[in-house]
Amino acid sequence: MSLPDNIHTRLVECFQTVFPDITAEAIPSVSQASTPAWDSLAAITLVQVLEDEFSLVLDLDQVADMDSFDKVLGYLRGELQEA
Amino acid sequence: MTFTEALKTVQKIPRDAKPFEVVLVCGFTPLHLQTYVTAHLYSAMQNRAVKVAPGVYGNMATTLEGLAQCGAQAVAVALEWPDLDPRLGFREGSGWAADQVADALASAKTMLDRILAAMLHLPKGTRVVVSLPTLPFAPLFHTPGWQGAETELMLHQLISDFSVQVARAGMAVMNPRSLNETSAPGSRYDFKSDLRTGLPYTMAHADMMGAAFAHLIAPPSPKKAIITDLDNTLWHGIAGEVGPGAVEWDLASHHRLHGLYQMLLAALSQQGVLVGIASKNDPKIVNEAFLREDLLLSSSQVFPVEVHWNAKSGSVERILQTWNIAADSVIFVDDSPMELAEVATAHPGIHCIQFPAGDDAAGFAMLRQLRDLCGKERLSEDDALRLNSIREGAAFRQAASGSEAPETFLRDARAAVTFEFGTGHLDARALELVNKTNQFNLNGVRFSEADWQELVSAPGALVAVVSYEDKFGKLGRIAVLQGQCAGRTLNLRVWVMSCRAFARRIEHLCLRVLFDRFNVDNICFDFIGTPRNGPLQDFLVQVTGGHATSEKFTLPREAFLNTCPELHHKILEIDTDEPAR
C-alpha cells in the first residue's frame, strides 16, 4: 500500500502531465475554478492519467465532484487506504 | 502504450522542428484518439513537430468538405457507423422502427457518396488514410445478433464498395483484419464513455487505432531484399545427404511450409524484392535441385547465388556488393541460429529471421512477417525490371572491367537515356525513388507526399525523372532531380540516382542536360554529407576538383565542362505532367 505522502507526490506528477504549464509547487493549490486549462476535456484526460498511475477505475460520477487537487488527493487516499 | 505515456510523448515533441500537420476527421470526441495518433506518429517521425488537429465534432462530411484548401500533410478519417446516419449509433437518433432502418440505409449511401466526393477533392499530395467502421451497430436490426440482417449486410456492402473506391483513388485504407488482431472487436466500444463524453473507444482501442493510423501515415521503409539459406529453409532436408531429388516442400510430405516460403519468395521477387542465396552446399547438387520442375521458386528469380563451404558472412558481403544496397535493407533467413549470429555480427542492421522448420505456427507467423517487412503500397514497372537490371549490371561491370579501353566499351554500350521533365504534379514513383535512395543522394532529405507536392508546385520548380537502357538491358527509372531556376542559376534541391546505374556517366549527363536545357551558368547544390552518400560525395569531389566541402556550393558551367568526360549516350527529352491520382 502506498504511503499518503507518496500518493501526494505521484498525484503532483499526474497533474503536471495534464497541466505541464503549472509548476510542481503551485499544483497542490489548484482547483477547477482557478485553472482555466482545467476544462471538461482536461478533466477526462486527468481521470485517465490517474487510472494509469494508481491502477484504479474511477467512476465518472464521482470524478465530477473532484474539482480541486485537495479533493482528488482525499479521494485517492480513501480509495488506496481502503484497498 | 498507456495514455500517460502517450501524453508524455506528445509533450516531448519539439516545437521548433519542421511541422507535420494532420487533420483527424471523426464524428466523435477525438480526445484520446488524438493523443494516441500524435504520440504514435511522433514515435515514427521524431524529426518532425507532429500536430494532430481535430475536425468539426459530429459532422464528418462538412469537415472533409472544408479541407479542400487545407495545408495539412495528412488527413486521417476515422469513420464509424453514426457518421453515416445517427440512428446506427447510440448517442443520437430517435427510432429504430423498420421504416427508419430502411431510411437509415438510404441516408448512409448518400452520406458515403458525399464523404467520398469530399475525400477526392482533398489537396493533391495530402496523404489521406481512412479506417472503416470499427464499432458495433446499435441493436436496430430485427435479427438476433448472431444472424446478419439483410440491411446490416447491405451496410457492410456499402462500406466495402466505398473502401475499394478509396483505395483505387490512391488513399490508404486501414486493414480491418489486421486491426482485429491487435484490437479485439468485442473490447473496442466503451458504452458509458460514449454516452457521457462522446468518446466511444476504449483506451486500448484508441491506442491501437492511433498506432494503425501512424503506420498508414508514415509507413516504415520496406525491405529491399532477402538472402535465404537452402537446406531446411528453402526446402526440407539436406540436399547433400538425401540427394537433390529427395528434398521436400509439398503437402504430402508434411513440409508444405517450405513450399509456401518458396511461393512467397517467388511473389516477392516478381514485386521487385531481390532474392539471393547463401548456402553451405555443393554447387553441383544445388544446381540439380534447381532443375526440379516442381520447385516453386525459379532460378531466374534468384541472383546472386553463393553456394560453397565458406563463411556465410562472406557470402552476404558479396551479395550486398552485387546488389549495392546496405545491410539494413536486407532480411537474412536461415534455420541455423549459429549462421544467423555469424551474419548478424558481421553485418549490423541486417534483419535476421530463423526459419522455424517443423513449427507450423511459427512458420505461419514468419510468412506474414516477411510480407509485412517487404510489403509496399504500390507496384511499378520498375519493380519487375529490378532483378534483371541487377543481373545485367553485373554483366556490365564484368564486361567493363575486362575491356582494355573503357571509352570504347561505354561508346559501344548503346546507352539511351530518357529525361521526363514535369512541373507541379505528384509522381508517386519518383517520390518513392527519392525516399529510398541513400548512396547517390544529394542530401538524404526524405519527403512526405505533401512536402513533395509543395516543393514541385513552387514557381519555376522543375522535376526530371531519368530512365536508362543499353545493350545489356533496361534499368528503368534510375534518377530523379528536382530544382528551381533563379536567373542564370539552377538550385538543385533533390538529386538521387539508383546504385544500379553507377559507372555509366549518367550523373555527368544529368548535369550537362540541366545546363543545356535551362541555359544556366551555374548549378547550386543543396548538398548535405550523410554517413551513406559517399558515392555522391566522390562524384562531387571529382567534378568540382575537391571544392565540394560546404553544405551548399555552386558549380559553374565552365568548371563542369572542364572535368566532364566524353558522353556517349543517346538522349531523349520529354515534357510530361502526370496526374496525381
Gap from B198 CA to chain A (nearest CA, Å): 11
* pLDDT on residue B325: 87
Q: What is the CA radius of gyration of chain B?
A: 27
Q: CA B174, CA B167: separation in Å to the nearest integer?
A: 10
Q: Which of B443, B446, B464, B434 is nearest to B526 (CA)?
A: B443
Share of chain A above pLDDT 70, in %: 90
What nine digits make up the cell of B177? 483484419
Which of A20, A52, A60 is nearest residue B3 as measured by Cβ atoms?
A52
* pLDDT, tens digit, 9 for 90 and up, residues B202-244: 999 999 999 999 999 999 989 999 999 999 999 999 998 899 9
Contact list, B11 vs chain A (CB under 8 Å): 17, 20
From B4-13, B14-23, B91-100, B295-304, the region with the lowest mean pLDDT: B91-100
Quick check: helix, strand or coil at residue B78?
strand
Contact list, B29 vs chain A (CB under 8 Å): 41
Q: What is the mean pLDDT of chain B?
A: 90
Q: With bands split at pLDDT 50, 70 and 90, how would you rate the model's confidence at A70?
A: very high
Q: Which of B242, B501, B264, B452 is nearest to B372 (CA)?
A: B264
* pLDDT on residue B411: 82
Gap from B548 CA to chain A (nearest CA, Å): 46
Contact criterion met (CB < 8 Å) for B4 and A48: yes
Share of chain B above pLDDT 70, in %: 96
Contact criterion met (CB < 8 Å) for A52 and B197: no
Contact list, B31 vs chain A (CB under 8 Å): 41, 44-45
Q: CA B246, CA B239: separation in Å to the nearest integer?
A: 7
Contact criterion met (CB < 8 Å) for B31 and A41: yes
Q: Which amino acid makes up residue B479?
A: A
Per CB distance under 8 Å, which residues of B are interface residues toward A?
Answer: 2-5, 7-8, 11, 29, 31-32, 35, 192-193, 196-197, 199, 203
Gap from A51 CA to chain B (nearest CA, Å): 9
Any idea which residue has 492519467 for its cell? A49
From A1-5, A59-63, B183-187, B352-356, the region with the lowest mean pLDDT: A1-5
Which of B4, B11, B35 is nearest residue A20 as measured by Cβ atoms?
B11
If you average pLDDT over residues B316-335, what whole number do you get?
Answer: 93
Please, what is the angle between helix B534-544 and helix B506-518, to 10°? 60
In degrees rounded to 5, what are phi and psi of residue B290? -75, -10
* pLDDT, tens digit, 9 for 90 and up, residues B464-485: 999 998 887 788 888 999 999 8
From B145-154, B265-274, B400-409, the region with the lowest mean pLDDT: B400-409
If you average pLDDT over residues A17-38, what whole number do you get?
Answer: 91
Which of A44, A51, A52 is nearest residue B197 as measured by Cβ atoms?
A44
Which of A17, A51, A60 is nearest residue B7 as measured by Cβ atoms?
A17
Q: With bands split at pLDDT 50, 70 and 90, how would you rate the model's confidence at B423?
A: low
Residue of A nearest to B195 (CA): A60
Q: What predicted TM-score, i.e. pTM, was given to this entire model? A: 0.79
Interface of A with B in 41-70 (CB under 8 A): 41, 44-45, 48-49, 51-53, 60
Q: Reply yes or no on whether the pLDDT at B424 is more than 60.
A: no
Q: Which of B356, B351, B361, B53 is nearest to B221 (CA)?
A: B351
Contact criterion met (CB < 8 Å) for A48 and B203: yes
Q: Which of B413, B404, B418 is nearest to B503 (CA)?
A: B413
> DSSP class of residue B137?
P
What nine digits make up the cell of B505? 556517366
- B465 versus B406: which is more confidently predicted? B465
* pLDDT, tens digit, 9 for 90 and up, residues A38-56: 988 888 899 989 999 998 8
CB B493 within 8 A of CB B526: yes
Q: Is B358 left (phi over 0), alpha (psi -120 to 50) or beta?
A: left
Q: Which amino acid makes up residue A78?
A: G
Q: CA B491, CA B525: separation in Å to the nearest integer?
A: 6
Please, what is the angle between helix B449-457 and helix B428-436, to 10°? 110
In degrees rounded to 5, what are phi and psi of residue B17? -75, 170
Q: Reply yes or no on whether the pLDDT at A2 is more than 50.
A: no
Q: With bands split at pLDDT 50, 70 and 90, how would you rate the model's confidence at B379?
A: confident
